[in-house]
Amino acid sequence: MKKQVKLQQWAAIGGIALCAAFLWACEKDEVPATVISGTTENRVFINNGLTPVTLPKNTAVFSGLINTPVGTQGARVTTTFGVQSTKPAEKRIRVKLEIDRSDVPEGYTPLPDAIGIIVEDAELTILEGQTRSEDNITVTLDEDLRPLASGRYAFAIRIVSATGGAQVSTNLSTVYIVLQTTYTNVQQGATSVSGSTMTKPTGAASWTVAGIATNPQYMLDASTSTQQYAATGSLVNAFPKEIVVDMKAEYTINGVHTRTSSNSYCPTAANIYTRLAETDEWTLQGYVTWARGTIQYVRFYGPVTTRYVRIDIMSVYNVNYGARYTDFTIYR
């Protein structure tokens, strides 16, 4: 019995010695902890909540801007935002912003100088103890964007300086304004065309039409009889289908309308082109869609001087029927 107790005592002593040796080894190999400290600067930045998938953060996108001869359609290009700081201001911070037309995202064209940029409140203030500016900057473009050709344009608004011991953020100091413009001279949804209808001359000056497969003469005979029609024929796999009217002289026109024999033989979308001479390039006046019906109006925003009118049919109600026209009317 004494021998057994003695063995237990020696086992306990050995265990204590082993633990001590292990702790000594850990203490010997311990690596001093690395202390990580955050930045001590107070930085001013912009976060307007806009983060398009394919564009930089803080990008405001304006699409659907349509230029016409009489003005620009679509929402006015304008944006308003403030600035923030990473820490409460120890004292008043004044933040200055400027426009930079040269800084644009990839794939965009710098906004031309011909388009004015109106800036309100280009210097913002963050009050002591606050992290947001008490005011906002508002940037607005000219209402008339007609000097812009169809395309994608952009410019930047950036923080250029900050007072009150604050520094400018290195990665959130810029807002981009991007816009996409298109051009059209054709009104969507027109139910009439202004002006008076033109009468087709006779003899050598008589108008001609190309692109009609069957009875093209009936398209220009001023008759609306459904017993006589000009037909494109089946348009399966045949888009665009081009129809060209030659008026044999120059006229200033407000638009045209076509009429079909029934609403089962009507076009539903087309591109409209004009040109003065046979050797001229075609000018796209615009793209137009029509509801199913027997009359298709093409009304120009601004008058067009032309000799040729070309209608590129892009879709019809039934591709197996194509389009069957009973007349083509021009307004001046």
If asked whether residues 48 and 159 sit together in one domain, one would say yes
Comparing 2 with 195, the larger pLDDT belongs to 195
Q: Do the Cβ atoms of 295 and 258 come closer than 8 Å?
A: yes
Partners of 125 in the β-ladder = 94
| Whether residues 169 and 219 fall in one domain | no
Same domain, 125 and 155: yes
Q: What is the CATH number of the domain that holds 139?
A: 2.60.40.1510
Cα(240)–Cα(318) distance, rounded to whole angstroms?
Answer: 14
Assess whether pLDDT exceeds 60 at residue 29. Answer: no
225 and 297 housed in the same domain? yes
> Is the residue at 188 inside a domain?
no
Q: Are residues 67 and 109 in the same domain?
A: yes
Do 173 and 219 fall within a single domain?
A: no
Q: Are residues 168 and 209 in the same domain?
A: no
Q: Which domain holds residue 233?
A: 203-331
Q: What is the average pLDDT across 142-158?
A: 95
- Where does the pLDDT of residue 19 fall: very low under 50, low under 70, confident under 90, or very high at 90 and above? very low
41-97 tens-digit pLDDT: 999 999 988 778 889 999 999 998 999 999 999 889 999 999 999 999 999 999 999
Residues 215 and 318 in one domain: yes
Return mean pLDDT, the chain: 88
Distance CA 90, CA 41 (A): 11
pLDDT band at 18 (very low <50, low <70, confident <90, very high): very low
pTM recorded for the entire structure: 0.76
- When divided into structural domains, the chain yields a total of 2
pLDDT at 236: 85
The pLDDT of residue 5: 43
| Residues 247 and 305 both lie in one domain | yes
Name the 3-class secondary structure at 23.
helix
Residues 311, 238 share a domain = yes
Q: How far is CA 125 from CA 234, 235, 322, in A?
A: 68, 65, 65
Last residue of a domain, one of 151, 183, 215: 183
Q: Is residue 173 domain-shared with residue 68, that is, in the same domain? A: yes
Band (38; pLDDT cuts 50, 70, 90)? low
Q: In the predicted model, is pLDDT for residue 25 greater than 60? A: no
DSSP codes joined into one string, 39-73: --S-EEE---S---TTS-SSEEEEEEEEEETTEEE
CATH of the domain at 316: 2.60.120.260
Residues 248, 160: one domain?
Answer: no
> Using one digit for the tens of pLDDT, what is the confidence trace for 249-261?
999 999 999 999 9
* Residue 243 to residue 309: CA distance in whole angstroms: 8
